[in-house]
């Protein structure tokens, strides 16, 4: 539950991540092989069409509200989820703002997101900026 709390409030990742400037996401875009959008997994709110997860991921809890979307999964898949987010977020219009210790933060003009994990679970949340 600690990881979920960190994800919902944002993680304090150690080293600042450097990513290329965000590209403008296209309106309709096919997910790269081995990935699926949160929208394709059933999320209706937020920028769920611009956040990708590995296709083999199992979601154990979810939040799907107008101001926040959250996914929680098993810790065994955390490294795969982190690798997918790191590889795909910049090309979907996000800037990775920090990364380290199995966590990362990211944002665009309207939303901010956080991913964090430990041995038992991972959590990803994206919310509307205040």
Least confident window among 5-9, 59-63, 96-100: 5-9
Please give the Cα distance from 76 to 121 (Å, whole number): 7
Q: What is the mean pLDDT of residues 107-119?
A: 97
- In this prediction, residue 15 carries a pLDDT of 38
User: Distance (Å, rounded) from C-alpha 127 to C-alpha 107?
Assistant: 9
The 10s digit of each residue's pLDDT in 10-41 is 443 333 343 333 334 444 478 999 999 999 99
Give pLDDT tens digits for 62-106.
999 999 999 999 999 999 999 999 999 999 999 999 999 999 999
Spans of all domains in the chain? 2-21+30-128
Report the pLDDT value the prediction gives residue 107, as an integer from 0 to 100. Answer: 98
* Cβ contacts of 46 within 8 Å, gap of 6 or more: 38, 64, 66, 67, 68, 69, 111, 126, 127, 128
pTM above 0.85, yes or no: no
Residue whose token pair is 């690798």: 83
* pLDDT value of residue 30: 85
Under a CB-based contact definition with an 8 Å cutoff, are residues 33 and 43 in contact?
A: no
29 Cβ neighbours under 8 A, 6+ residues apart: 92
Which contiguous run of DSSP H or E holds residue 103?
strand 103-107
> Of 7-11, 19-23, 46-50, which one has max mean pLDDT?
46-50
């Amino acid at each position: 539950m600690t990881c979920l709390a960190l994800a919902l409030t944002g993680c304090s990742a150690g080293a600042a991540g450097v990513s290329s400037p965000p590209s403008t996401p296209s309106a309709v875009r096919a997910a790269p092989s081995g990935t699926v959008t949160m929208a394709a997994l059933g999320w209706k709110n937020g920028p769920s069409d611009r956040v990708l997860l590995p296709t083999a991921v199992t979601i154990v809890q979810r939040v799907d509200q107008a101001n926040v979307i959250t996914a929680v999964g098993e810790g065994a898949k955390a490294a795969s989820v982190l690798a997918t987010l790191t590889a795909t977020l910049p090309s979907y219009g996000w800037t990775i703002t920090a990364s380290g210790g199995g966590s990362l933060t990211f944002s665009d003009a309207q939303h901010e997101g956080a991913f964090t994990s430990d041995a038992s679970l991972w959590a990803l949340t994206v919310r509307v900026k205040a």
